[in-house]
Amino acid sequence: MIGKLKGTVDEIGEDHVVIDVHGVCYVAFCPARTLASLPRSGEAAILFIETYVREDQLRLFGFASAMEREWFRLLQTAQGVGAKVALAILGTLTTGELANAIALRDVAMVSRAPGVGKKVAERIVTELKNKAPAFSGGDLDIGMMQELGAGVAPGPVSDAVSALSNLGYSRDQAASAVAAALKSAGEDADSASLIRLGLKELAK
């Protein structure tokens, strides 16, 4: 079982990279975001690897971090999600954005990934809502969000996140700020209070 590759970049393809480890070249299929973050050919690189062994093939999947690899595994526990779909999602969203999308049940956010339709996105946010907290990486207090309605963000929360996003903040920043605002304002806070406190969080 290969867990990590340390070597030099030999070649970067559309969906894979070839890593030269002391003369042995490994092909690892990666999310688009990981491929984009890799250095140029001939430079050193490290990839966290998930190894798939089948009767007729051995395939390596490479990731920029151990957290990204864990999300790759977690996503495939959702019905209808295979390696291809998991790679597409991780190629579109950061792990923090994905954690926020599941916490807020933001189907549209997950659907941004190519080849991921609404039904698959809905299954992901529904089936992973109780598993995702362990994979949030501290980006969002997902447990709190889930307590506020079994994983469904209440109106004021959604409104506050939307308002902050409209002000130019990323969805990830907005969701994290609103989650922090909830801790101080309480679950009964209205959207205006969450927006005000969220802006304070973003200004820190």
The rounded distance, in Å, linking the Cα atoms of 2 and 60 is 8
Angstrom distance (rounded) from CA 185 to CA 42: 52
Residue 152 carries which side chain, given as an amino acid letter? V
Domain count along the chain: 3
Instruction: Please tell me whether residues 93 and 27 are part of one structural domain.
Output: no
Residues 55, 86: one domain?
Answer: no
Residue that terminates a domain, selected from 119, 142, 165: 142
Q: State the maximum Cα–Cα separation within the chain, in Å, rounded to a whole number.
A: 61
Q: Is the pLDDT of residue 58 over 60?
A: yes
Structure token digits, residue 18: 């070839």
Whether 130 and 185 share a structural domain? no
pLDDT for 133 equals: 53
Alpha carbon distance 93, 64 (integer Å): 13
In percent, how much of the chain has pLDDT > 70? 88
Specify if 149 maps to a domain.
no
Q: Are residues 135 and 70 in the same domain?
A: yes
Q: How far apart are CA 200 and CA 204, in angstroms?
A: 7
* Per-residue pLDDT tens over the stretch 108-159: 889 999 999 999 999 999 898 777 655 555 444 444 444 433 344 557 877 8
Partnered with residue 58 across adjacent β-strands are: 53
What span, in angstroms and rounded, lies between the C-alpha atoms of 151 and 83? 25
Rg (CA), the chain: 19
- 91 half-sphere exposure, CB direction, 13 A CA radius: 21
Residue 125, both tokens: 């946010």
Tokens linked to 62: 């490479």
Q: What is the mean pLDDT of the chain?
A: 84
For residue 163, the model assigns a pLDDT of: 86
33 in any annotated domain: yes
Domain range for 55 is 4-64
d(CA 29, CA 13): 9
The CA-atom distances, in angstroms, between 143 and each of 11, 108, 132, 164 are 42, 21, 9, 22
